[in-house]
């Protein structure tokens, strides 16, 4: 007897759950021969709004985990991805990536997660500073996460590109809402299954699928988003202006996916500088 | 009439849970947009009883809340005030003074709120004190202790006593059932019917002091009880769901429910209230979104 294949329903990922888009809309993803590979959610601005609420709720808890714990969780993501390497490659082959390209996508993504896992508990030590002062004060600067980050992931690199945007943001204690690749979103959403099984608190990573032209302006103008990352060509001028209007960070990583360094984390950090009087204790001898 | 006579022919009305859920699902599937949404949001804001009921409440905290009640968001034009400020009796005078130039009412919780575990004598004394301090409205709790033992006569006679005291002083009375403590929807309906026999001005779901606060199921059952009471006696009674309603979208769903079950006569703050503290800001954020087209952030709205 022949067996009927069971198709996966690709949904979006908000607050650690897999809802359908509230709009009920979808769009087809086809391969180059025009065959239907999957139907994806065509997310609306309301899905984005819901994701911001989830991200905002989750962010402070994520940032207050110990850096070591965040590091472990990022490493766990890499472990989970490694065990599913074959299925991710298979999924991308359906969308006409070559075997070599698909392998590079998955391996690059795993390595990138491990790289930023390593930086979680080191970047503050490396980049914070004790600043010179002219009075009896300490003055030091430390990095703190900027908060909720909205990002548009690259179009042609559905997994590696996505993770290159997500990893530096969450390693530094931010929560993200990412609009995945439109035409190759299948492996982006499968990555959400990895996230859900890796102790990442719900709401820290949120993934939407849909159309950049429709959503970018809402992502850029939302007052409760602290930074906007664009890693795809073709962002409308109006969206750039909207980012400026409500004074959030605009970070352009278009074409910069191959750069792997801790400075990407710093772009999504605020620097807090604090003054503190130098304490002199009677028993301790001189100043601290 | 005394409570014994009122309860002589009392019959409990069973509630069809599936029917309730089905009706709520249909109400929730409605979408209110554009102008109707703005009108609904204004209405919801104007129906809020802005509430603070903490042991840590101080006169200054209450004054700040009163300012928020009168000026929810001065950056926008045409924003109504909330309906009332709801506080403990010892802070009524402070609130009354802070609100003296406005139409915002002062509601006081009374009758040994939130547990109700005291004697009628003390409850009446406390209510009298709140009224003397200047309360416009009294939010009383029913005695769940007696209700759960089936002593409905006691429950009703207590409500009647408090009501007589309130109405003698021209003060409106809300009766809190604390539905989270009385059990199934059948019991909620029974408690509503008993409270309604006293003809109070409002019945109210919860104190907000326990985990389970207002939800749509309980509110629907209580609204239906109000409607049946109105059909039977012609006496209009208001409704106040309290606690747990924190977003504008749910508030609109509640308004749709009121309109459908009771009709437009109930759609003013004379007959419908939301007991809430967080709802006001979400409603304001949605109104600002409608005006500016941009989704808002909580930090641009005063906390209280």
d(CA B172, CA B108): 11
Decide: B247 and B296 in contact? Cβ < 8 Å. no
**Least CB–CB distance from A49: residue in B293, B295, B300:** B295
Q: What is the 3-state secondary structure (H, E, C) of A159-208?
A: CHHHHHHHHHHHHCCCEEEEECCCCCCHHHHHHHHHHHCCCCCCCCEEEE
Residue A5 has pLDDT above 90, yes or no: no
Check residue B62 and give its pLDDT: 97
pLDDT confidence tier of residue A15, bands split at 50, 70 and 90: very high
Cβ A218–B297 below 8 Å, yes or no? no
Question: Per residue in B231-264, pLDDT tens?
Answer: 999 999 999 999 989 999 999 999 999 999 999 9
Q: Which positions in chain B touch A222 (Cβ < 8 Å)?
A: 294-295, 297
Question: Per residue in B97-129, pLDDT tens?
Answer: 999 989 999 999 999 999 999 999 999 999 999
Question: Per residue in B150-167, pLDDT tens?
Answer: 999 999 999 999 999 999
How far apart are the CA of B294 and the nearest CA of chain A, in angstroms?
6
Check residue A7 and give its pLDDT: 87
End-to-end CA distance of chain A: 81
Q: Which domain holds residue B27?
A: 3-300
Average pLDDT over residues B43-71: 96
Q: Does A57 touch chain B (CB under 8 A)?
A: no
Among the listed residues B115, B129, B194, the one whose alpha carbon sits nearest the alpha carbon of residue B157: B194
How far apart are the CA of B284 and the nearest CA of chain A, in angstroms?
14
State how many domains chain B has. Answer: 1
pLDDT confidence tier of residue A288, bands split at 50, 70 and 90: very low
Instruction: Give the count of beta carbons closer than 10 Å to the beta carbon of residue B165.
Output: 18
Instruction: Give the count of beta carbons closer than 10 Å to the beta carbon of residue B267.
Output: 16
Find, in chain A, the residue whose alpha carbon is nearest to that of B285.
Answer: A223
Among the listed residues B97, B129, B101, the one whose alpha carbon sits nearest the alpha carbon of residue B113: B129
Average pLDDT over residues B265-292: 94
Average pLDDT over residues A57-69: 97
The DSSP string of chain A is ---PPPPP----BBTTB-PPPTT--EEEEE-TT--EEEEEE---HHHHHHHHHHHHHHHHHHHHS-HHHHHHHHHHHHHHHHHTHHHHHHHHHTTT--HHHHHHHHHHHHHHHHHHHHHTTTHHHHH-EEPP-SSSEEEEEEEEE--EEEEE--SS-TTHHHHHHHHHHHHTT-EEEEE--STTTHHHHHHHHHHHTTTPPTTSEEEE-S-HHHHHHHHHH-TT--EEEE-SS---HHHHHHHHHTT-EEEE-TT-TT---THHHHTTEEEEEEEEEPP--SSS-S--
Q: Does A103 touch chain B (CB under 8 A)?
A: no
Check residue B130 and give its pLDDT: 97
Q: Any idea which residues of B carry the catalytic annotation?
A: 139, 204, 240
User: Which CATH number characterizes residue B244's domain?
Assistant: 3.20.20.70
Check residue A280 and give its pLDDT: 61
Residue A150 has pLDDT above 80, yes or no: yes
Domain A26-271 belongs to what topology? Aldehyde Dehydrogenase; Chain A, domain 1 (3.40.605)
Q: Does A222 touch chain B (CB under 8 A)?
A: yes
Decide: B85 and B99 in contact? Cβ < 8 Å. yes
Mean pLDDT score of chain A, rounded to an integer? 94
Q: Does B19 touch chain A (CB under 8 A)?
A: no
B-contacting residues in A 123-182 (Cβ below 8 Å): none
Domain assignments of chain A as residue spans, ordered by start:
26-271
d(CA B112, CA A247): 50
Check residue A284 and give its pLDDT: 53
Question: Per residue in B183-238, pLDDT tens?
Answer: 899 999 999 999 999 999 999 999 999 988 899 999 999 999 999 999 999 999 99
Residue A285 has pLDDT above 60, yes or no: no
Check residue B212 and give its pLDDT: 85
Cβ B295–A246 below 8 Å, yes or no? no
A155: its two tokens: 């179009």
Question: Per residue in A35-47, pLDDT tens?
Answer: 999 999 999 999 9
Q: Does A264 touch chain B (CB under 8 A)?
A: no
B-contacting residues in A 14-53 (Cβ below 8 Å): 45, 49, 52
Question: Per residue in A239-284, pLDDT tens?
Answer: 999 998 887 889 999 999 999 999 999 999 999 999 988 866 556 5
A142: left (phi over 0), alpha (psi -120 to 50) or beta: beta
């Amino acid at each position: 007897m022949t067996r009927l294949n069971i198709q996966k329903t690709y949904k979006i990922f908000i607050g650690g759950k897999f809802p359908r888009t509230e709009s009920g809309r979808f769009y087809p993803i086809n391969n180059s021969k025009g065959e239907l590979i999957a139907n994806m959610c065509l997310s609306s601005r309301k899905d984005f709004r819901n994701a911001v609420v989830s991200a905002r709720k989750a962010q402070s808890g994520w940032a207050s985990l110990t850096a070591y714990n965040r590091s472990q969780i990022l490493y766990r993501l890499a472990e989970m991805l490694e065990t599913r390497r074959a299925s991710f490659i298979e999924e991308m082959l359906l969308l006409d990536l070559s075997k070599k390209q698909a392998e590079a996508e998955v391996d690059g993504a795993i390595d990138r997660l491990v790289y930023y896992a390593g930086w979680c508990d080191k970047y503050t030590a490396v980049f914070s500073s004790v600043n010179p002062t002219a009075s009896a004060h300490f003055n030091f600067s430390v990095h703190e996460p900027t908060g909720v980050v909205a990002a548009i992931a690259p179009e042609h690199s559905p997994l590696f590109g996505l993770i290159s945007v997500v990893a530096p943001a969450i390693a530094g204690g931010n929560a993200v809402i990412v609009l995945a690749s439109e035409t190759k979103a299948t492996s982006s959403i499968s990555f959400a299954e990895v996230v859900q099984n890796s102790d990442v608190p719900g709401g820290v990573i949120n993934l939407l699928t849909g159309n950049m032209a429709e959503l970018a302006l809402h992502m850029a103008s939302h007052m409760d988003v602290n930074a906007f990352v664009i890693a795809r060509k073709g962002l409308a001028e109006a969206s750039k202006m909207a980012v400026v209007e409500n004074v959030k960070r605009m970070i352009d990583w278009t074409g910069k996916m191959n750069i792997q360094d801790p400075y990407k984390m710093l772009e999504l950090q605020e620097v807090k500088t604090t003054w503190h009087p130098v304490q002199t204790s009677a028993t301790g001898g001189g100043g601290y | 009439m005394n409570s014994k006579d009122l309860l002589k022919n009392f019959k409990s009305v069973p509630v069809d849970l599936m029917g309730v859920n089905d009706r709520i699902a249909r109400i929730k599937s409605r979408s209110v947009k554009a102008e109707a949404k703005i009108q609904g949001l204004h209405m919801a804001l104007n129906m809020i009883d802005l509430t603070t009921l903490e042991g840590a409440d101080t006169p200054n905290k209450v004054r700040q809340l009163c300012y928020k009640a009168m000026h929810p968001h001065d950056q926008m034009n045409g924003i109504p005030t909330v309906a009332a400020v709801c506080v403990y009796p010892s802070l009524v005078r402070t609130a009354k003074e802070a609100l003296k130039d406005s139409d915002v009412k002062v509601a006081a919780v009374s009758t040994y709120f939130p547990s109700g575990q005291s004697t009628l004598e003390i409850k009446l004394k406390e209510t009298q004190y709140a009224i003397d301090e200047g309360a416009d409205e009294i939010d009383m709790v029913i005695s769940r202790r007696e209700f759960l033992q089936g002593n409905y006569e006691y429950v009703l006679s207590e409500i009647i006593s408090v009501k007589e005291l309130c109405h003698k002083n021209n003060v409106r009375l809300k009766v809190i059932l604390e539905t989270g403590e009385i059990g199934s929807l059948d019991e909620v309906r029974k408690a509503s019917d008993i409270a309604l026999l006293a003809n109070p001005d409002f019945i109210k779901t919860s104190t907000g002091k326990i985990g389970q606060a207002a939800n749509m199921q309980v509110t629907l059952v209580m609204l239906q009880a109000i409607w049946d009471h109105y059909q039977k006696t012609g006496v209009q009674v208001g409704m106040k769901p309290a606690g747990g309603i924190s977003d504008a979208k749910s508030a609109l769903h509640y308004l749709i429910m009121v309109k459908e079950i009771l009709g437009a006569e109930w759609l003013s703050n004379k007959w419908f209230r939301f007991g809430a503290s967080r709802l006001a800001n979400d409603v304001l954020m949605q109104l600002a979104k409608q005006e500016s087209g941009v989704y808002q952030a909580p930090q641009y709205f005063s906390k209280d």
